[in-house]
């Protein structure tokens, strides 16, 4: 792990010219994506020509992207650019919005998530989600984490469940802070702790992909730093897609970055490349703060 991080850090600091010189790393066939931590990864999620309509209004235009497994992909872009909308397509949360229609294909591990044979409940168990505002249930900390395993019948006994709860909280690096008060309400935690509780809750169902919709926008810088550290650890086991408004955050946590603008996916590539030598003028304008 530490070695990987160091490797990544050195790559992050590479001058743009070097990166361009090694650009063969970044133009892979669509089913494999190479991330800066050197190893080629297969694409976990493949989206092709995804469009989203809210009633008559089209919010997303023909988005195609490959999301590599066990790494962090960041979606950036100005407000209303469709990045959250696209994120919510990946576990079909848009189904819960009245009048929302999605076209195009999205495949998770090669199987179509819009196929009639696919159970959306199962999909959401495989593709977990963390929301913008921490939204713990009005239940105890324990019950919050146990909720998912309970509804999916993942624990055979009370001890099993305790084990899942404990390990999820540990993975979300919240265990030490709450282990003595598991039965106090989750709503009594601080904002950053609540968000980590929501991450633990998502981890508890052992998903393969975790979608994070601006997970730090309601948090202070210290809590944000802890969540970012956590994301960095989680990428060993999970495929993470994060929507963020903060370009620094995208640069810090992600291996690949996708820039959305006005419902279009403008550009997508390795994070360091996007930030140092973007291929599109609009991307450059956005990351240099000229608009957005």
Partner 1 sequence: MNTAIIAALLLILLGIAYQTGCSRSRSLTLGGEARLHSRPVYHGALVAIWSLTPALLILALWALFGDTASRAYLLAQLPPETSSLAPADLDGAIRRIRQIESGFGIIGDAQPWENQAAEALREFRILTSAAIIAAAAGTGALALWFARSRISLRLRARNEVERMVSWAMIGCSIVAILTTAGIVASLLVEAIRFFTFVSPIDFFFGTVWNPGFSTTGHGSAGEYGLLPLLWGTLMVATIAILVALPIGLLTAIYLTQYASPRLRGFVKPIIEILAGIPTIVYGFFALVTVGPFLAGLGNLLGLDIRATSALTAGIVMGIMIIPFISSLSDDIIRQVPRAMRDGSLGLGATQSETIKRIILPAALPGIVGAFLLAVSRAIGETMIVVLAAGNSPYLRLNPGEPVSTVTVTIVNQLTGDTDFASPQSLVAFALGLTLFAMTLILNVAALYIVRRYREQYE
Rounded to a whole number of angstroms, the minimum distance from the CB of residue 153 to partner 1 is 11
Specify the residue, 36 or 148, whose C-beta has the smaller distance to partner 1. Answer: 148
Taking CB under 8 A as the binding criterion, the range among 46-54, 144-152, 165-173, 229-237 that sits at the site for partner 1 is 144-152
Site for partner 1 in 107-136 (CB under 8 A): 121-126, 128-129, 131, 133, 135-136
Taking CB under 8 A as the binding criterion, the range among 145-153, 155-163, 250-258, 280-288 that sits at the site for partner 1 is 145-153
Check binding of 54 to partner 1 (CB under 8 A): no
Check binding of 42 to partner 1 (CB under 8 A): no
Q: How far apart are CA 227 and CA 124, in angstroms?
A: 22
Rounded to a whole number of angstroms, the minimum distance from the CB of residue 122 to partner 1 is 7
Check binding of 61 to partner 1 (CB under 8 A): no
Check binding of 138 to partner 1 (CB under 8 A): yes
Judged by CB under 8 A, the number of residues near partner 1 is 29
Rounded to a whole number of angstroms, the minimum distance from the CB of residue 247 to partner 1 is 26
Site for partner 1 in 160-199 (CB under 8 A): 185, 187, 198
Options 15, 16, 151, 236; binder of partner 1; rule CB under 8 A: 151
Rounded to a whole number of angstroms, the minimum distance from the CB of residue 185 to partner 1 is 7
Q: Which residue has the tokens 């080629």?
A: 40
Binding pattern for the stretch 208-247 against partner 1, x by CB under 8 A and - elsewhere: ----------------------------------------
The number of angstroms, rounded, from the C-alpha of 44 to the middle of its chain's C-alpha atoms is 12
Options 63, 205, 219, 274; binder of partner 1; rule CB under 8 A: 205
Rounded to a whole number of angstroms, the minimum distance from the CB of residue 150 to partner 1 is 8
DSSP the chain: -HHHHHHHHHHHTS-HHHHHHTGGGT---TTEEE-TTSSEEEEEEEEEEEEEEETTEEEEEEEEEEEETTSEEEEE-STTSSHHHHHHHTTTGGGGSTTEEEEEEEEETTEETT-TTS-HHHHHHHEEEE-SS----SSBHHHHHHHHHHHHT--SSHHHHHHHHHHHHHHTT-HHHHTT-TTSBGGGS-HHHHHHHHHHHHHTT--SEEEEESTTTTS-HHHHHHHHHHHHHHTTTSEEEEE-S-HHHHHHH-SEEEEEETTEEEEEEEHHHHHHS-SSHHHHHHHTTS--
Check binding of 53 to partner 1 (CB under 8 A): no
Work out whether strand 264-270 and strand 127-130 pair parallel, antiparallel, or are unpaired.
unpaired
Options 54, 61, 114, 137; binder of partner 1; rule CB under 8 A: 137
Both tokens of 287, joined, read 């990351």
Site residues, partner 1 (CB under 8 A): 91, 93, 96, 98, 121-126, 128-129, 131, 133, 135-139, 147-148, 151-152, 185, 187, 198, 201-202, 205
């Amino acid at each position: 792990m530490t070695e990987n991080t160091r490797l990544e850090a050195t790559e992050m600091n590479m001058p743009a010219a070097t990166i361009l010189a090694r650009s063969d790393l970044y133009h892979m066939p669509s089913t494999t994506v190479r991330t800066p931590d050197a190893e080629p990864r297969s694409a976990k999620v493949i989206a092709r020509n995804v469009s989203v309509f809210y009633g008559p209004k089209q919010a997303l235009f023909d988005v195609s992207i490959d999301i590599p497994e066990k790494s962090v992909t960041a979606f950036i872009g100005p407000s209303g650019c469709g990045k959250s909308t696209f994120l919510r397509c990946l576990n079909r949360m848009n189904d819960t919005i009245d009048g929302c229609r999605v076209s195009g294909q999205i495949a998770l591990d090669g199987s179509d998530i819009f196929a009639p044979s696919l159970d959306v409940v199962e999909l959401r168990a495989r593709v977990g989600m963390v929301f913008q505002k921490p939204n713990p249930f009005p239940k105890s900390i324990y019950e919050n984490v146990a909720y998912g395993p309970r509804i999916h019948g993942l624990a055979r006994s009370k001890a099993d469940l305790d084990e899942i709860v404990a390990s999820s909280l540990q993975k979300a690096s919240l265990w030490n802070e709450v282990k003595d008060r598991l039965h106090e309400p989750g709503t009594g935690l601080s904002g950053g702790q609540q968000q980590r509780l929501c991450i633990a809750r998502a981890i508890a169902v052992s998903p393969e992909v975790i979608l994070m919709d601006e997970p730090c926008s309601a948090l202070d810088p210290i809590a944000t730093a802890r969540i970012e550290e956590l994301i960095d650890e989680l990428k060993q086991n999970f495929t993470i897609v994060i929507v963020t408004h903060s370009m620094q955050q995208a640069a810090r946590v992600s291996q690949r970055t996708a820039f959305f603008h006005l419902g279009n996916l403008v550009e997508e590539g390795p994070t360091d490349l996007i930030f140092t030598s973007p291929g599109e003028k609009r991307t450059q304008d956005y990351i240099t703060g000229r608009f957005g």
